[in-house]
Amino acid sequence: MPVIHPTLRAGSAQFEENLRAYQATRDGLREAQARSVQGGEEKARALHHSRGKLMARERIARLIDPATPFLEIGQLAGHELYDDPVPSAAIVTGIGIIRGRACVIMANDATVKGGTYYPMTVKKQVRAQAVARENALPCVYLVDSGGAFLPMQEDLFPDEQHFGRIFRNIAEMSALGLPQIAAVMGSCTAGGAYIPAMCDETVIVKQTGTIFLGGPQLVQAATGEIVDAQTLGGADVHTRLSGVADHFAEDDTHALSIVRDIIARPGVRTYAPPPAPPRPPLYDPTELPGVVNANPKDPVRAHEILARLLDASEFVPYRERYGPTIVCGTGAIGGYPVGVLINDGVLFSESSQKAANFIELCSQTGLPLLFLHNISGFMVGQEYEAGGIAKDGAKMVNAVSCARVPKFSVIIGGSYGAGNFAMCGRAFGPRLMAMWPNARTSVMGGEQAATVLSLVRQEQLAKKGQAMTAQEIEAFKQPTRDHYEFHGRPVYAASRLWVDAVVDPVDTRDWLTLGLAMAAASPREETRFGTFRM
Ligand code: COA
């Protein structure tokens, strides 16, 4: 198999400068990650523990098989999004292996505002369910939530992708034969009660678990009846009288072991091992931060990345000499074969056509696709418009949209405008999408946007016979540059779930391996492309 060799090596001045710039970006992110994983305030965590309850992340760690990784989705969701801190949007979601089966796990964090649902909590749970459905994985709900965050009900209750969608998804996935299992490890009030009630099978913990449509306060207000929470909807009531829950657990650990036994029943698809043994790249992946350009406007060369990302640095290129601004070819990550598309410059007509063809080929053979974004966009200008760049770009977007093989997207540099679409941005349904800490994404670069807006302003003024000085133009442009820089950062994107994770370059192989493993056993779908404009 052909091997890719890098040219930029550790120790060179350029490498060291890149590394320093990368570390500076990374440091800013570390604080956001630390705040996201700690859960609620110390007081709330202490109270939670004093009730004999484990934290959401502790529960997940005990639920999954020992020494197996947890592929977290949306760790930074909710970061600096609301007036109050809402770490990880008050719910921890991701994919873990339970008794050898890959499962999507969703665990409310009751230390963050009683585990209530902010708009982002709903978005995150719906996203996790979408991952489960697409990859045909069982769902485990570790429920500990006060239901809707009432002050923001209008932003989370009434719309199509709001609260109700979570329950509809449970019913639909159950109908598809994907097990839906709940463990009630705290409150499950009002709408929240429908999670355990709608799941296929439900476990409830003694003393701490409760399920009711209306809590004691509401019951008293509505009917005058005075009743405590356990008598109203505790584990004894629901496993002995109501049948709302199926299994009585003594504590959190017991509940998690019952869930593990349920998942291990025959009929749940086991995790698919790689078809070939995983082999590390010949060139050290820890060097990746040193090959990311210190200046984010300078693209990263494709071969520098591939040599440090693919198994044994092996890569079989497709049409290497044609449309070289996109590099396409096949390789493997963690032993799972993959078709790779990585930018190496602006997209031209030839590169777009080549990429569309490559996507067709991978779809025919069922090969998963990996898009590594490093793209400022499609080539503009009279010559290219006359050459039909719009219809050639559309071919690539068509191919990306319709390809029914598992798609994965990682923004390793810039991802701008239609380049983002063609490289399988969020709207194009990648099964997972990540950004590197140095990466940026927006409709166009901040400098371009500032220039466009300043030209529009100058034209308006010219009609009135006025003009701007060079200083005025500069002062006009700067806020737009700042705005784009702020909103294009990975932490901003991740807090809004535009990407599932911010992943370090060095962890990217592991992250992709888990993603490919998750997708490997999902049923193969037939691809049917839309009309390609010739
Ligand atoms: N909406 C908004 N905030 C809520 C909330 C809700 N539904 N439920 C709880 N909170 C807030 C509390 O005001 C408190 O905020 P603070 O830390 O700023 O004071 C925080 O969440 C923790 O609540 P607290 O009652 O102190 O914690 P707890 O662990 O003892 O109890 C609940 C948690 C969820 C069991 C309890 O607060 C409760 O029963 N809430 C009402 C649930 C409800 O009726 N929901 C209906 C949804 S449709």
* Residues 103 and 137: beta-carbon distance below 8 Å: yes
Per the structure, how many domains does the chain have? 2
Token pair belonging to 308: 């440090």
Q: Which of 26-30, 93-97, 508-512 has the lowest mean pLDDT?
A: 26-30
Q: Kindly report, residue by residue over 358-393, the tens digit of the pLDDT.
A: 999 999 999 999 999 999 999 999 999 999 999 999
375: domain range?
285-441+489-520
**Interval 468-491 mean pLDDT:** 94
Measure the CA–CA gap between 45 and 51, rounded to whole angstroms. 10
Q: Kindly report, residue by residue over 222-253, the tens digit of the pLDDT.
A: 999 999 999 999 999 999 999 999 999 999 99
Give the distance (Å) from ligand 1 centre to CA of residue 64.
29
Measure the CA–CA gap between 117 and 163, rounded to whole angstroms. 8
CB-based contacts of 23, cutoff 8 Å, min separation 6? 289
Atom 37 in ligand 1: residue holding the nearest Cα: 114
| Residue 494: C-alpha distances to residues 206, 297, 386, 488, 501 (Å) | 37, 21, 38, 10, 6
Residues 382 and 508 in one domain: yes
Secondary structure of 316-354 as H, E, C letters = EEECCCCCCCEEEEEEEECCEEEEEEEECCCECHHHHHH
Residue 201 has pLDDT above 90, yes or no: yes
Residues 147 and 109 in one domain: yes
Q: Return the pLDDT at 270.
A: 84
Atom of ligand 1 nearest to the CA of 115: 34
In degrees and rounded to multiples of 5, residue 31 shows phi and psi of: -65, -45
Model confidence pTM above 0.85: yes
Measure the CA–CA gap between 352 and 360, rounded to whole angstroms. 12
CATH number where 84 lies: 3.90.226.10
Give the distance (Å) from ligand 1 centre to CA of residue 63.
26
Residues 259 and 294 in one domain: no
Give the distance (Å) from ligand 1 centre to CA of residue 205.
19
Give the distance (Å) from ligand 1 centre to CA of residue 263.
31
Residues 166 and 309 in one domain: no
Measure the CA–CA gap between 406 and 431, rounded to whole angstroms. 6
Residues 155 and 192 in one domain: yes
Measure the CA–CA gap between 233 and 207, rounded to whole angstroms. 10
Site to probe by mutation for ligand 1, drawn from 113, 187, 212, 218 as the one with most ligand atoms within 8 Å of Cβ, is 113
Atom 24 in ligand 1: residue holding the nearest Cα: 114
Which residues, judged by CB distance below 6 Å to any ligand atom, belong to the binding site of ligand 1? 110, 113-114, 116, 146-151, 187, 189-191, 215
Map tokens 């399920």 to a residue. 211
Atom 19 in ligand 1: residue holding the nearest Cα: 113
Q: Return the pLDDT at 258.
A: 98
Residues 158 and 291 in one domain: no
Q: Kindly report, residue by residue over 424-446, the tens digit of the pLDDT.
A: 999 999 999 999 999 999 999 89
First to last CA, the chain: 34
Atom 1 in ligand 1: residue holding the nearest Cα: 149
Give the distance (Å) from ligand 1 centre to CA of residue 345.
52
Atom 38 in ligand 1: residue holding the nearest Cα: 146
Q: Kindly report, residue by residue over 84-141, the tens digit of the pLDDT.
A: 999 999 999 999 999 999 999 999 999 999 999 999 999 999 999 999 999 999 999 9
